Amino acid sequence: MRLYQITELEQLTGIKAHTIRIWEKRYNLIEPDRTSTNYRRYSDDQVKKLLNVTTLLSNGYKISKIAALSEKDFHLKVLELKTTKKEDVICTTFINDLLSAMIDFDEQAFEKTYSAVINRFGLFEAMLTVFYPLLNKIGLFWSVSNVTPAQEHFASCLIERKIMSATDGLPFAKSRKKKFLLVLVPGEMHEISLLFANYVIRSKGHETIYLGQDVPYESIESVLKHSKPNFVLTFFTVPQNPKDVYSDFKRYIHLGEKTKLLVSGQADIINHLKEKLSANIVLHPKDLLTYL
């Protein structure tokens, strides 16, 4: 069983550390373990309880009322909310259910919730309203931490697998008027945003060349010369010196007049590439639709 610091609990639940401390003292909501130096440590079950608390709070329950509930009534209230018609509450519930499954490494529970999300929203809206907020909570949206615990890998790998499966089910491009090269440069390993972009582009009937993660610049240069795409899309999640990135692009990535560069991720890098290479910035998945 993993024990969480209060800062990690704050990130996962969205509840401020100061608020968690007040709830502990005032309502005895949870009782953390403490280290020899008196630092709080929280168990998986305590994290999951706080996730359910956020679900109830988002539906208008007061913390005093939540704290007074018996364990049985607490869980019954959470289950009742799963049938609510309020989209924002539904999304919060889905996200918290997925986080709970991630904490337990419970693939069956993750799969069950994933299917419910897709059935309700479809993949595109599900990514925007549930899966990106989920990944944002665990540090994997457009930027990532240098340290990625196994639970984060568990969740991200399952989502990657689902996106790839959905993409495989799409027909080949009917028109070859637009061709997109999707690639992550050396050192970039996190593919979820690129995989989802590939799905969106393919779903609109356009052709893609998907190279994936950590591709050498020399290889990208070779593919560019051979395929002559209309667009090159890449994401920057790892902090780098923008001048170094620009230098590598200037040396290897010769786009030509008919190829546009689409970039997303680290603000300092993409803004530098916009200034130096006239790159087009994609801040949100819906921004990609303007090129389709």
Interval 254-260 mean pLDDT: 89
Q: In total, how many domains does the chain have?
A: 2
Summarize pLDDT for 126-157 with one digit per residue, the tens. Answer: 998 999 888 877 765 544 444 457 888 888 89
Identify the H or E element spanning 252: helix 242-252
Interval 4-17 mean pLDDT: 86
The boundaries of the domain holding residue 120 are 82-169
Chain mean pLDDT for the chain: 88
Q: Which of 136, 169, 202 is the last residue of a domain?
A: 169
Q: How far is CA 19 from CA 23, 46, 63, in A?
A: 6, 15, 11
* Domain assignment of residue 47, yes or no: no
User: Where does the pLDDT of residue 85 fall: very low under 50, low under 70, confident under 90, or very high at 90 and above?
Assistant: low
What does the pLDDT read at residue 84?
58
Q: What is the pTM of this model?
A: 0.80
* Domain assignment of residue 285, yes or no: yes
* Domain assignment of residue 101, yes or no: yes
Closest CA to 109 of 158, 40, 171: 158
Q: Which of 122, 137, 169 is the last residue of a domain?
A: 169
| Tally of CB atoms within 10 A around 14 | 17
Q: Does 202 lie in the same domain as 115?
A: no
